[in-house]
Chains A and B, each alone.
Chain A
Amino acid sequence: EPSSKSIENMRKFSEQYARRSGTYFCADKSVTSVVIKGLAEHKDTLGAPLCPCRHYDDKPAEASQGFWNCPCVPMRERKECHCMLFLTPENDFAGKDQTISADEIKDLTASLG
């Protein structure tokens, strides 16, 4: 499990970045919650929020290189977030929120390992 400090950092980052980029969280916020925890987990273990929706041959090298550190290059350049964390308004899966509380993250991931 990632640390509460990293989860909180990534939660705040996600809210700020959604606002800044004009994107929205997934209508199903369990997706948002899982991804935020994944970013927090990588922040704890690698020192950087490496995208949790990819596999890497060498995670530390990828974290240093930075292409896939959130917000990743595809997101920054084209608003493409395949983690479904930041969704453009026309995306079928986009909800209306740009906020998510710590309790929501906790509750929506409670059943996971």
Chain B
Amino acid sequence: EDEFEAAVLKSELPVLVDFWAEWCGPCKLVAPVVDWASEEYAGKLEVYKVDTDKSPGLVEKYKLYGLPTLVMFKNGGIVSESRREGAITKAKIKSYLDDFLQS
């Protein structure tokens, strides 16, 4: 949670954060898609994954209880309308990120 502030809130680039938990099945589906995004959008976007069991304070702060949740952070704050719960395909995450980065 301490690293979150330095890595995510102080990032100059927008940040995609994937909130997950150990025994959440759809979270396992999303993980490789998020890894792909990390490489595909390198230089335009930072990407982090947060294990919610290890970072309960962050979940409580941002009220992200359903898992997996993907959400964008920009300029030190959460972009509420970017919140997206559930499994996502590569095509859909591409369109989600392209739309966000263009706006």
Residues of A within 8 A of B (CB): 26, 28, 30-35, 37-39, 41, 52-57, 82-85, 93, 112-113
Contact = CB atoms under 8 A, between A and B. Distances in A.
Contact of B26 (A39, A53, A56): A53
A1 B37 CA distance: 30
Contact of A57 (B21, B53, B56): B56
Contacts of B19: 55
Nearest to B23: A38
Interface in B43-72: 52-53, 56, 59-60, 64-68
Contacts, number: 70
Interface in B3-47: 19, 21-29
A52 B28 contact: no
Interface string B61-88: 0001111100000000000000001110
Interface of B: 19, 21-29, 52-53, 56, 59-60, 64-68, 85-87
A54 B25 contact: no
A50 B22 CA distance: 14
Contacts of B86: 82
